[in-house]
Amino acid sequence: MSGESGESQVIVPAESLRKFIVQAAEKVGARSEHAQVLAELLVSADQRGHYSHGINRLDYYLTELHDGFNATDKEPEILKQTPATALVHGNNCIGPVVGKFCMDLAIEKAKNIGIGWVCAKASNHFGISGWYSIRAMEQGLIGMAFCNTSPFMIPTRSKTRTLGTNPISVAAKGNDGEEFVLDMATTAVALGKVSDWFRIEIKKLLGEKLPQGWTVDGHGKPCTDPQEVLNHGGLYPLGGPEETSGYKGYGLGFMVELFCGILSGSRFGKNIRTWSCHEAEADLGQCFAAIDPSVFTPGFEGRLSDLIHQCKDQEPVEGETEILVPGDPEKNHIELCTRLGGIPYHSKQVAFAVSINS
């Protein structure tokens, strides 16, 4: 991993990064095909600018594999299915392997009868949810992906971690390369961003405190101290406190739990192990859906593009140059990577990744 640009930035070609991740995963026991899937997921995350879920998460995956908490000799399996649905047992494989299996199954069903809805249990951390919805989008379908996670959200009016960041992703393609790709946590901020803010060796602190509206302390009160948040507090739901509609993010997080933990039979809510615990299987629940828009009103792609332009072609407010739709920041970051010839990282981030593979 080389190609330093400037004093603190390193440009890493995507293919070099893939090979590095595969080598690291195989070193701790991952099968080659599983390591390849993990590499594709992590590289995609960083190419899209979701650094909290790219190689910053490699250490987590390697620890799980090394300590035997991810299966290296199994594959996901279908427990039961109908033409449109399936329940999958992840057999404790690494999350991206389970997720890819499930989304590809949902895609197959959608192509056959118009829709596929697949739930999984006994899975693990699956990275950015957008990677799965985009797989369906790239085949002309509407893709959706959801996952429950370790409890870190403090429900509205509460002070106890109960739900996870519980991400949502929906992706669909319009005309002429236009896309809508929603990929978001249902908390005010993803846990990875709080952790990155706190981990000085990976990312320099942008300030001494966290932004207002992200997090609470152990008493459920607003808090900007990252150490207090990580050790005792938690994350606000999307929207923040109740007076700024945080109950809506709480409702969305609960909805994800319904689709993932409740529907699949996996662990859910406070029953899920903590993020940093490597002493038990995660047993995460996940949900994947693919829809063929052609079974509904004709002209889906054009109508979607029309809506995209209704939003983007307006005059921006003073001080802004453009209006974005979900997926545009990621597309811009991919274009940046193309111009640079690789993915830009802080040199300390690269040094950390190299150290865990040594």
pLDDT mean values, one per 10 residues, the chain (358 residues)? 58 97 96 98 97 91 91 96 98 97 98 98 96 98 97 95 96 96 92 50 44 88 83 92 96 98 97 79 96 98 98 96 97 97 91 83
Residues 174 and 290 in one domain: yes
**Could you tell me if residue 334 is inside a domain?**
no
**Could you tell me if residue 344 is inside a domain?**
yes
- Residue 199's pLDDT is 40
- Residue 193's pLDDT is 59
Residues 48 and 15 in one domain: yes
Taking a C-beta distance cutoff of 8 angstroms, is the pair 314, 154 a contact? no
Residues 155 and 103 in one domain: yes
Residue 349, Cβ density class (10 Å: 0-12 exposed, 13-18 middle, ≥19 buried): buried
- Residue 314's pLDDT is 95
**Rounded Cα–Cα distance for residues 128 and 139 (Å):** 19
CATH code: domain of residue 231:
3.30.60
**Could you tell me if residue 93 is inside a domain?**
yes
Domain range enclosing 19: 1-67+340-358
Looking at the chain, the number of H-run helices and the number of E-run strands are: 12, 13
Residues 166 and 90 in one domain: yes
Nearest CA to 85 out of 67, 121, 110 is that of: 110
Residues 156 and 281 in one domain: yes
Residues 83 and 158 in one domain: yes
- Residue 347's pLDDT is 87
Q: Which residues contact 131 (CB under 8 A, 6 or more apart)?
A: 40, 41, 44, 45, 96, 99, 145
Residues 162 and 250 in one domain: yes
Residues 60 and 40 in one domain: yes
Q: How many domains does the chain have?
A: 4
Taking a C-beta distance cutoff of 8 angstroms, is the pair 120, 264 a contact? yes
Residues 201 and 163 in one domain: no
Residues 202 and 91 in one domain: no
**Could you tell me if residue 333 is inside a domain?**
no
